[in-house]
Amino acid sequence: MRHILWILFIAIGSTIAHAQDVKNPLIPPADRVWRSYQILEKNRLAIIQQLDLLNNFPKTKQVFVDVFDPDDRKQLYYVYDQYLTAFQDAGKMLPDSVLKIGVGICKDMKWSSGVSDKLQHAVLSVAADHPEIFVEQAYKLKRKELEALIDYLADVESSPLCAIYQKLIANLHEVGAYNLEGMLTRAKKENTH
């Protein structure tokens, strides 16, 4: 009898956990990200699954917000952390793709705690580890978009993020991207006053 109760408890628990994973029905972009993530979960190191996640990941601010931070708190809002962690982890093998997508979204974002904060952390982390690719993506932007990106990335609140931000500035200096280094340094000083 104990074993039956234990099996029933596990079955109910896993059903509840799955129900909390997403709020159905998902809009098509959220459904694509959700499906890609489910496959990626089976093998987090498989580059093909990481690429599939990135191919299905939102490419614009509006789609990103619709998927991860909608006003009604449905879609993938309650599980955004694990999806954005997978996005950041993909940056270890595919930094060019992650930064292209991340810069494309961040250039239109305004910082807020939660989803926006996690996206900022992911992009800063990958950019700090791959400054040449960050420079390449940043210089593809128009001047106003670049300024907006810098303002968004400079709005760093937490200490660990501040360390990553400083690492990005130091690495930009090392690769000779003095203009971006200066923009990030000035933007940080403006955000602290």
Instruction: Tell me the per-residue pLDDT of 109-152, one tens digit each, with 9 for 90 and over.
Output: 998 889 999 999 999 999 999 999 999 999 999 999 999 999 99
Question: Does residue 85 lie in a domain region?
Answer: yes
Amino acid at the residue 30 = A
Average pLDDT over residues 20-26: 64
DSSP, residue by residue, 25-53: SPPHHHHHHHHHHHHHTT-TT-HHHHHHH
Per-residue pLDDT for 190 more than 70? yes
**What's the pLDDT at 39?**
96
Residue 45 domain-assigned?
Answer: yes
* pLDDT band of 15, cuts 50, 70, 90: very low
Q: What is the mean pLDDT of the chain?
A: 88
Residue 38 lies inside a defined structural domain of this protein:
yes
CA trace torsion 185, 161, 177, 188 (10° rounding): -10
Supply φ then ψ for residue 175, to 5 degrees: -90, 5
Domain total of the chain: 1
Q: Is the pLDDT score of 98 beyond 90?
A: yes
Say if 6 falls within a structural domain.
no
Q: 161: which residues sit within 8 A by CB, 6+ positions away?
A: 120, 121, 124
- Is residue 19 one of the residues assigned to a domain? no
Structural domain boundaries enclosing 111: 25-192
**What whole-number distance in Å separates Cα of residue 53 and Cα of residue 143?**
30
pLDDT of residue 156: 78
User: What are the backbone angles phi and psi of residue 75, rounded to the nearest 5°?
Assistant: 60, -125
**Longest pairwise C-alpha distance within the chain:** 70
Mean pLDDT is lowest, of 12-21, 68-77, 147-156, for: 12-21
83, 102, 104: which is closest to 94 by C-alpha? Answer: 102
Tell me, yes or no, whether 16 lies in a domain: no
pLDDT at residue 155 in the model: 86
The predicted-structure confidence for 28-55, as pLDDT tens digits, reads as follows 999 999 999 999 999 988 999 999 999 9
Helix 47-56 with 80-90: angle, nearest 10 deg? 120
pTM of the model: 0.84
| 3-class SS of residue 173 | helix
* 160-168 average pLDDT score: 87
Please report whether residue 154 resides in a domain. Answer: yes
Q: pLDDT at residue 11 above 80?
A: no
| Burial (0-12, 13-18, 19+ Cβ within 10 Å), 150 | buried
In a domain, 18, yes or no: no
| Mean local confidence (pLDDT), 167-172 | 96
Higher confidence at residue 156 or residue 128?
Answer: 128
Q: Assess whether pLDDT exceeds 60 at residue 12.
A: no
What does the angle CA 142 – CA 148 – CA 149 come to, to the nearest 5 degrees?
Answer: 85
Q: What is the pLDDT of residue 18?
A: 43
Q: Which two tokens stand for residue 130?
A: 């791959």
